[in-house]
Amino acid sequence: MTDENPFAPPTPRAARPAQEPPAPAAQPGERSAPPAGEPAPAAGQGSGHVTERLTAPVPMMTVRAPSGTFGATGAGETEETPAEDPAPPRRGRVGAGAVVGVVLLSLLAGAGGGAGAYALLDAQGPARPADVALPQPAGGTAPVERPEGSVAAIAAAALPSVVSIEVRAAQGVATGSGMILQEDGYILTNNHVVAEAADGADVVVTFADGHEQEAELVGATPDYDLAVIRVDETGLEPLVLGDSDDVVVGDAVLAVGSPLGLEATVTTGIVSALHRPVKAGEAAEAAFIDAIQTDAAINPGNSGGPLVNSAGEVIGINSAIAQGPGTTTATGNIGLGFAIPSNQARHTAEQLIETGTATFPVIGVLLDPTYQGEGVQVASEPQQGTPAVTPGGPADQAGIEPGDVILAIDGRPVSVADELIVAIRAKAPGDPVTLQVRSGDDEREIRVVLQERSSGQ
């Protein structure tokens, strides 16, 4: 910001001498004497009348909001933009008092001198602005057609069933999104949105029409990052969970939710990848998601909201966004968002509503995170007292031994431990899977029936 204050009071003019009586007119060929107290004009200088102008300098201000603040400006967060013309020397300046005076004068003129003002405009003739009549649409305003399947039509159908969630804990307030599952008050969201509710935090749901309801936690699982809450209300309009197995890359999708607390926000994009292994959350309670990847804009606050296909069906629950290498906090949308497939969400939500807990499948092995090579290696030794292969577990019954390398699951190659875990978590307990296993130089296919484990175990 420039040091000069463009709104300082005007600099007082120098006092002028009292006006003298007009001098007699000069005769032809005779030069008139200058008034007393004023020097004679220099040689070659004309004697025409000079009009003094008061010019206010242009203030140099371009304000930008500081990072992380919505609609606010911080001290020192300004940068100067020089005016195009250099400031002339000894310019007058218009102060705040002068601005107020102009405003008051305008109000008084509008109240008492309107007729005189219009008379003056009439006298000026062409200077008076002409009446303005902007062009109108031919034949009146035509209705905009929004056919079934358009983004507007899908959004209009989905928005009444999407809610904003606020969790009020002692350490602060967290916000997220959710979708109505059943007309009797069940709502699906992410576990990380309402995790504090398990410790007594208040959960408040805001519906599309603006009314609020307190909610209770029905059940949650960090393993799939899903939770169900319930409000004491009936007659709600649920969204339909579609079949995520039918989704293909390139399908058009809408992400609906409350990013950054901005309720009822809709963004569009496509499904950009499938079966993306995503590990979200802290290591102790990490969620392993066989995710749908989308470029629809997803930001903090979208968590728990639905990812909707062109038929208006929910094919995913928005849960995570990618962040660049080296960043430790979410930086906002970069075109890489991830959603929990709807088939997984359906299975887990049903368990949470029925029992308050959820289960996930296991094969009963510990994996070696230090292994470098093709596939994923089963640990060779027990880890912290836990055997590498669980005795009597699915892998043990199928003949897998410590040190074996798992190359693929159901024909899908795996190269890191998270890929194998995510592929298994995408199944249900009791499902069979086919593992391609290498023991030394021997490779074979093994059929394994997955066992069940409850969240928190």
Mean predicted confidence (pLDDT) in 323-347:
87
Q: What is the pLDDT of residue 136?
A: 78
pLDDT in tens, 373-386: 999 999 999 999 99
Architecture of domain 244-355: Beta Barrel (2.40)
- Angstrom CA distances, 306 to 88, 215, 383, stand at 61, 19, 39
CATH class of 360-454: mainly beta
Average pLDDT across the chain, whole number? 79
The answer to whether residue 314 scores a pLDDT higher than 50 is yes
- Nearest one of 213, 222, 177, 224 to 195, comparing CA atoms: 222
Q: What is the pLDDT of residue 8?
A: 45
pLDDT band at residue 124 using 50, 70 and 90 as cut-offs: low
Q: What is the pLDDT of residue 90?
A: 46
Q: What is the pLDDT of residue 133?
A: 83
The answer to whether residue 430 scores a pLDDT higher than 80 is yes
The answer to whether residue 344 scores a pLDDT higher than 60 is yes
Q: What is the pLDDT of residue 229?
A: 98
pLDDT in tens, 126-185: 565 667 888 877 776 778 888 888 999 999 999 999 999 999 998 899 999 999 999 999
Q: What percent of the chain has pLDDT over 90?
A: 61
Q: What is the pLDDT of residue 276?
A: 94
Q: What is the pLDDT of residue 284?
A: 62
Model's pTM, two decimal places? 0.70
The residue ranges of every structural domain in the chain are 152-231, 244-355, 360-454
Look up residue 291 and give its two tokens. Answer: 């995710």
Asked if the domains 244-355 and 360-454 are classified in one and the same CATH topology, the answer is no
Q: Which sign, positive or negative, has the C-alpha torsion 382, 279, 443, 393?
A: positive
Q: Where in the sequence numbering do the catalytic residues fall?
A: 192, 225, 303
Q: What is the pLDDT of residue 218?
A: 98
pLDDT in tens, 73-86: 343 333 434 444 44
Look up residue 401 and give its two tokens. Answer: 């031994």
Q: Is 442 helix (H, G, I), strand (E, B) or coil?
A: strand
Residue 7 Cα to chain centre, angstroms = 38
Mean predicted confidence (pLDDT) in 1-9:
45
- For domain 152-231, which CATH number applies: 3.30.499.10, 2.40.10.10, 1.10.4080.10, 3.40.50.720? 2.40.10.10
Residue 377 and residue 369: Cα distance in Å, rounded? 8
The answer to whether residue 110 scores a pLDDT higher than 70 is no
pLDDT in tens, 392-429: 999 999 999 999 999 999 999 999 999 999 999 999 99
